[in-house]
Amino acid sequence: MNKSGKEIKPKNLAMVLGAVILITGMAILILAFIPKSTVVEISAITDRASFTILPPQLLDIGTSLLDNSLKVKSLQWKGVDKMEATTLEESTLKIIKFQPDTEDKICLESNEPFRVSIDLYEKAHILIQPFDRDKLKITLKQENSENAGWESTVEYNNLEMKLKGIKNPADIESHLTRHDILKFTSGHPLVIKGGQRETELGLHLFSPERQFSGILEVIDSRSGQIVETKDLPVAISESYVVLLKDRVVVLKKGSNQETSVNLFRPDINIQQPEFYRLSGSQEESFLIGGQVRFPAKERENVELERDFLLEVPDPAQLKLKSFQLIDGHLKIVLWGKPSSVLLGPTPDLMAELLPSYFVWLYTHKLSTFVFSTIGGVVTTCIGGLTLFGMRKS
């Protein structure tokens, strides 16, 4: 019996308790299925990479794309809007300018490594495809094609330019060593501009030589135990055994080290990385391997399986931590706080990798979560008792 003298009916009490359990269960269920945006690090090894680079905050400075350490053997441009080259003629610097047509190709080659830089001034979509261990193609396409939104500078010592199919203006004719070759030895940078049309850039890189290693083991012939082990920087194709008194010296092949080249500068802001594409009715995945890591430890790291589909569907801003060419494959490392990361063998079987609100609260706000739950249950009980007249308002 309550304070008003009314008898508490078991039916009403059961309804209150049922409502409390139902509301609490629904709240926990909702929290368990809604993903919570959190910090993730995506490290993916792919055969192809595609993403959108956001415009710089200061348009007059631009976003520098290629890494400073990148050394190039040759490059080919297609879809350039304008080129400026400075030559030295009779102790006088002369600037040559020309505008190639859409299908014209400009090839730059040198016996010495030279440096290429690309600065983006507009939002642009980037597609990178590697060929072999030291070749790749980069496609640039601006979101706004009204302006020339990128500028490339080529720094060199000796350079040879091949003009394929270009209608040469009069000021180029006098500098041609052949009908289509122009040589530069003054060292003044070439400036290439574009953005009003889709541009292709082919790069042939100076990649570091593959490092081979050998292993030297000294074994005690009496006990059979390894006395000494050393790594040797030599290429060994097969094992060798040498007997020295009470010692056995074994020289065997070690593991080959990967060759890696940094392609893009770190800390570039990007959106919507693509790790697969639709090819007719089939999905073509570019994934070879990798990992999704959760620095805040909401869940265990997730390994990326080959040919699986990985998607970051929302336009959240991500940070490009590193972008490398490793033995003919691309390794891209992204850092950010997306609202969704999906992974699966097919589009219908893709699962959310981000933790739920329930897991996130349990990991980071356990005490707050517990007290909030208890407070909600108590409040619901009091409201139910008041509603059924079992407690004075």
Instruction: Output the CA–CA distances (angstroms, integers) from residue 132 to 129, 135, 290, 328, in the order listed.
Output: 10, 6, 20, 5
Span 313-365, pLDDT tens digits:
878 889 999 999 988 899 999 999 998 999 999 888 999 888 877 776 766 55
The pLDDT of residue 309 is 93
Do the beta carbons of residue 155 and residue 115 sit within 8 Å? Answer: yes
Residue with the larger pLDDT of the pair 22 and 65: 65
Share of the chain above pLDDT 70, in %: 71
- Range in 213-222, 232-241, 281-290, 320-329 with the lowest mean pLDDT: 232-241
Do the beta carbons of residue 236 and residue 253 sit within 8 Å? Answer: yes
Do the beta carbons of residue 338 and residue 309 sit within 8 Å? Answer: no
pLDDT bucket at 8, cuts 50 / 70 / 90 = low
Report the pLDDT averaged over residues 115-132. Answer: 91
The angle subtended at Cα 389 by Cα 387 and Cα 393, nearest 5°, is: 75
The pLDDT of residue 393 is 43
Give the best-scoring range by mean pLDDT among 2-6, 155-159, 265-269.
Answer: 265-269
Model confidence at 127: pLDDT above 90: yes
The pLDDT of residue 347 is 87
H helices of the chain, in order, are 10-33, 170-173, 357-364, 366-387
> What's this model's pTM, rounded to 2 decimal places?
0.72
The pLDDT of residue 367 is 56
Give the best-scoring range by mean pLDDT among 71-75, 142-146, 373-377.
Answer: 71-75
The pLDDT of residue 50 is 93
Residue with the larger pLDDT of the pair 43 and 20: 43
End-to-end CA distance of the chain: 16
What does the DSSP 8-state code read for residue 233?
-
Report the pLDDT averaged over residues 362-387. Answer: 58
User: What phi, psi does 176 have (nearest 5°)?
Assistant: -75, 125
- Range in 27-31, 182-186, 331-335 with the lowest mean pLDDT: 27-31
The pLDDT of residue 377 is 57
- Residue-wise over 140-176: b if at least 16 C-beta within 10 A, else e? bbbeeeeebbbbbebebeebbbbbeebeeeeebeebe
Distance CA 140, CA 278 (A): 20
Rg from Cα positions in the chain: 32
Span 49-91, pLDDT tens digits:
999 998 887 667 888 999 998 999 999 988 888 888 776 665 5
The residues, ordered by sequence, that sit 6+ positions from 44 with a Cβ below 8 Å of its Cβ are 275, 287, 289, 290, 304, 310, 331, 332, 333, 334
Sign of the torsion angle spanned by Cα atoms 352, 356, 360, 363 = negative
Residue with the larger pLDDT of the pair 179 and 264: 264
Residue with the larger pLDDT of the pair 208 and 124: 124
For the stretch 292-295, contacts whose Cβ atoms lie closer than 8 Å and that sit 24 or more positions apart, written own/partner, are: 292/40, 292/41, 292/42, 292/43, 292/341, 292/343, 292/353, 293/40, 293/41, 293/42, 293/43, 294/38, 294/39, 294/40, 294/41, 294/355, 295/39, 295/40, 295/41
Measuring CA to CA, which residue among 146, 102, 147, 149 is closest to residue 124? 149
The pLDDT of residue 375 is 59
Ordered by start, the domain boundaries in the chain are: 10-34+356-387, 40-208+261-348, 214-253
Report the pLDDT averaged over residues 10-32. Answer: 60
Measuring CA to CA, which residue among 119, 112, 134, 135 is closest to residue 184? 112
pLDDT bucket at 251, cuts 50 / 70 / 90 = confident
pLDDT bucket at 202, cuts 50 / 70 / 90 = very high
- Range in 152-156, 175-179, 376-380 with the lowest mean pLDDT: 175-179
User: What phi, psi does 305 have (nearest 5°)?
Assistant: -85, 150
How high is the mean pLDDT of the chain? 78
The pLDDT of residue 222 is 76
User: What phi, psi does 367 have (nearest 5°)?
Assistant: -65, -45
Distance CA 21, CA 69 (A): 62
Report the pLDDT averaged over residues 295-318. Answer: 89
- Range in 129-138, 337-346, 367-376 with the lowest mean pLDDT: 367-376
